[in-house]
Amino acid sequence: MPRPWPQDTRLGWLAHRISPGARVADIGTDHARLPVHLLASGRASFCVAADVSPEAIQASRARKLPDGVADHLSYRVGDGLDVLTPADRIDTVVLAGFGGHQIADCLERRPPHALGVGQLLIQPQRHPEQVRGWISRNDWVLTGEALVEDHDRVYLVLEARRNAEPPPPHPTLAPGELLEVGPILARSRCPRMRRLWTGRHQEAAARVAAATTPRAREAAELQRDLARRVLEGLPDPA
């Protein structure tokens, strides 16, 4: 059995949010690292490794797999959730490494709850507000958010579930602002959250000072003020 991945890494965080014995689809699997790990560790009972690239799937198929994994791993070539059917009985869909627009479009085209999916694990490369917006509009609930570090980069990772208790309203940030900030991260003691928004505040303040038009100044001031309110609302680090 392989060693557990650290929870404070990109794929490690995703793996640790999956319930033991779950049936998992990894969309955009690339080299199928996550499905193979989930099956080899006993975390998942069945995995679909899907990618739009036939070459990526062919390379994954050519890998030597740990004993017993191949019998529970299904490779699929295709776009998004179109590779899945209700007969797969997938509990968890993983969408990692795409932009937020692409992820939201993927979920819109093939709603995961129509397939019986109850958990989404998402790592958007950019535009997380698009993913959070889709979640909030489609009767899913954001149940987990974290900033994790992997190979000297910080990644945002998200979890959403059906029929879960939503995060409480934020005392100072509006719902639209929380799509950008994150309703769970906005209350986080994670030092990376404070560093992230300190950097954004500094960048926005510099844009305010350098603005040459009223429109540019106003946009920069809005971002500066948002960053200030995020920082004021964060609890002290643990």
Spell out the domain ranges in the chain: 10-166, 191-233
Examine the pLDDT at 213 and tell me if it is beyond 90: yes
Across the chain, what does the average pLDDT equal? Answer: 94
Mean pLDDT of 60-78: 93
Q: Which residues contact 182 (CB under 8 A, 6 or more apart)?
A: 128, 132, 142, 145, 156
pLDDT of residue 230: 97
Give the whole-angstrom CA distance, residue 205 versus residue 28: 38
Tell me whether strands 44-51 and 22-27 are parallel, antiparallel or unpaired: parallel
197, pLDDT greater than 80: yes
Alpha-carbon span 4 to 55, nearest angstrom = 28
pLDDT at 8: 84
Residue 159 pLDDT exceeds 80: yes
Q: What is the percent of the chain where pLDDT is above 70?
A: 99
Residue 183 has pLDDT above 80, yes or no: yes
Task: Tell me which CATH homologous superfamily contains domain 10-166.
Answer: Vaccinia Virus protein VP39 (3.40.50.150)
> Which tens digit of pLDDT belongs to each residue from 18-54?
999 999 999 999 889 999 999 999 999 999 999 999 9
Q: Residue 238: pLDDT above 90?
A: no
Chain center to CA of 42: 22
pTM to 2 decimals? Answer: 0.94
